């Protein structure tokens, strides 16, 4: 890279100052500068030397220094100019477009999650079990965040949030509850609610896992597949917990 113009001018000035000072030392080591020209003239003020006077070797050393300065200055002037930096690499292409499986999974999982949240909202008013209340809070929080994520994807893809002309009653998706089943869950309390909730949420989770399995098999976008795997892992863990609670809470039949 070529040195800046300011650096070259600074170094040239330094060389010129050195040459000027060398010429001023003249014949004597005691006087900083003798009279200039012919005849008698008052002596000019002394210019202080940058280094202590060195009797005997001062002239030779000054000449050597001058030659060195000029050599370095010539080298700076002959250095190659600044190179034009190479063109920046093209940015990575945007995320690939989704295929039909990605869009279908995302559109259908949004209302599927919404129904799970509706079921979870019934818990506080119909049971006193802290385990179910904690579960309901987790479902509402985690699936709510996933809904927001999927809605963002559909918007970026230019796709509607849900297939047109469909609602919970008309959707034929695995694990979805009918309107009648949702009403039945909302009118019972206590142990009856607890056991029916576990039964319905187990079926609902199994349907979500089936949908996620289809996305893993047929989908194209890595981020959508990651969400599908996340749903499988989380909801299978909850299903296992439901089975355990069902065994503990189900009344023992009287023989």
Confidence of residue 190 (pLDDT cuts 50, 70, 90): very high
Domain membership flag for residue 235? yes
107 and 23 inside one domain: no
* Structure confidence by residue, pLDDT tens digits, 27-36: 444 444 443 4
Does residue 25 fall inside a structural domain? yes
Q: What is the mean pLDDT of the chain?
A: 77
Tally of domains in the chain: 2
Owning domain of residue 6: 1-29+55-80
Q: Does residue 38 form part of some domain?
A: no
Mean pLDDT of 95-114: 94
DSSP string across the chain: -PPPHHHHHHHHHHHHHHHHHHHHHTT-SS-SS---SSS--PPPPPPPPSS---TTTHHHHHHHHHHHHHHHHHHHHHSPPPPPPPPPPPPPPPPPPP-HHHHHHHHHHHHHHHHHHHHHHTHHHH---HHHHHHHHHHHHHHHHHHHHHHHHHHHHT--SS-TT--TTT---TTPPPHHHHHHHTT--HHHHHHHHHHHHHHHHHHHHHHHHHHHHH---HHHHHHHHHHHHHHHHHHHHHHHHHHHHSPPPP-
The verdict on residue 41 lying in a domain is no
Same domain as 244, residue 173? yes
- Whole-number pLDDT of residue 16: 55
Lowest pLDDT segment from 83-97, 179-193, 223-237:
83-97
**Verdict on whether the full-model pTM lies above 0.85:** no
Work out the average pLDDT over 143-170. Answer: 84
Q: State the average pLDDT over residues 223-230.
A: 98
Are 126 and 223 within one domain? yes
Residue ending a domain, among 46, 80, 114, is 80
Reported confidence tier of residue 172, pLDDT bands at 50, 70, 90: confident
In a domain, residue 174? The reply is: yes
Regarding whether 124 and 233 lie in a shared domain, the answer is yes
Identify whether 67 is part of a domain.
yes
Residues 232 and 119 in one domain: yes
The reply to whether 60 and 16 lie within a common domain is yes
**Domain boundary residue among 45, 80, 115?**
80
Binned at pLDDT 50, 70 and 90, residue 45 comes out as: very low
CATH code of the domain containing 176:
1.20.1260.10
Question: Do 74 and 161 lie in a common domain?
Answer: no
13 and 125 assigned to the same domain = no
């Amino acid at each position: 890279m070529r040195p800046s113009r300011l650096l070259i001018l600074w170094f040239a000035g330094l060389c010129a100052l050195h040459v000027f000072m060398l010429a001023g030392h003249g014949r004597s080591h005691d006087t900083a500068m003798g009279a200039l020209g012919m005849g008698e003239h008052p002596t000019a003020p002394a210019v202080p030397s940058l280094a202590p006077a060195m009797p005997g070797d001062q002239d030779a050393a000054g000449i050597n220094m001058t030659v060195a300065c000029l050599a370095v200055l010539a080298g700076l002037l002959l250095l190659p100019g600044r190179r034009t930096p190479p063109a920046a690499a093209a940015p990575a292409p945007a995320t690939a477009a989704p295929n039909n499986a990605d869009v279908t999974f995302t559109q259908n999982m949004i209302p599927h999650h919404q129904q799970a949240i509706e079921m979870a909202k019934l818990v506080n008013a119909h049971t006193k079990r802290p385990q179910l209340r904690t579960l309901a809070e987790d479902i509402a929080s985690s699936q709510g965040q996933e809904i927001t994520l999927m809605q963002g994807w559909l918007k970026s893809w230019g796709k509607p949030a849900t297939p047109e002309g469909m609602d919970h009653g008309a959707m034929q998706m695995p694990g979805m509850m009918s309107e009648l089943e949702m009403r039945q869950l909302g009118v019972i309390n206590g142990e009856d609610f607890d056991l029916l909730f576990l039964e319905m949420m187990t079926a609902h989770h199994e349907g979500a896992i089936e949908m996620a399995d289809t996305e893993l098999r047929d989908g194209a976008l890595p981020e959508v597949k990651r969400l599908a795997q996340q749903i499988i892992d989380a909801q299978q863990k909850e299903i296992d917990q439901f089975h355990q609670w069902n065994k503990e809470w189900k009344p023992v039949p009287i023989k």
